[in-house]
Structure 1
Amino acid sequence: MSTLNQSSSLNSCTKFPIPSRDNHVVDEIQSQPFDYSKRAQWLRAAVLGANDGLVSTASLMMGVGAVKHDVKAMILTGFAGLIAGACSMAIGEFVSVYSQLDIEMAHIKRSSDHRKELEEEERENYRTLFRRRRLPPWPFLRGQ
């Protein structure tokens, strides 16, 4: 009987801390926007490539099957078409990615050149301002 009373007294005295859920952290994680544009482009390329590969390989195998009823020839032709299609899609994607890179690099160069022109115009405006007010241009030229 005494052991039963001791165990019940232990149960009533023992309290385990229950951690509270920090709503601030959860709200912060949920409120951060996620950019799906890179994932969407990858998914678009994968779906387009899979669709193209399936249709072209199936069409090739149906054409060979209509002419020649040999299973080995159909399998060999399907495998060759699969390899050729994969190489074609890989080369096409490579060219696509590098032409996009060229476009972006040209855009960066154009914006850099435009920024340099604006900086030169701004310097000329400051020089004109110094000349009008007859201030020495030395602090401006030293970057102060």
Structure 2
Amino acid sequence: MAAQNDMKRDNRIAGNNDEEVSEKEALPNPIQAAAASALSFMLGAIVPLLVAAFIVDHMIRLGVVVATVSLALVVFGWIGAVLGRTPLVQSCFRILVGGWMAMAITFGQTKWIGSFGL
């Protein structure tokens, strides 16, 4: 989808009229993209905080947070696939694996920083 929009943008800049681009086929709006990103980050941050706030035991909290966030990542992938008209499974998988990688890196960094007593 992004490559198709880049080609349309290049055709407009170059003045090529190989394909008629109607006014309804507008390029993505950066304000809408920024607002959607801010909203998804906010909702994505609230999920683990709400879950972690009610569980005292560290190991149980860690497992429940990972499971809950994984479910939320799949839901966000599904929403992105529907809105972006992309393949559902591919989008959900990409978002889920990216989120797991981000969680693993963050967990590793906090363990590493904590070992120095900063």
**TM-score calculated relative to the size of structure 2:** 0.46
**TM-score calculated relative to the size of structure 1:** 0.38
Q: Which has the higher helix share?
A: 1
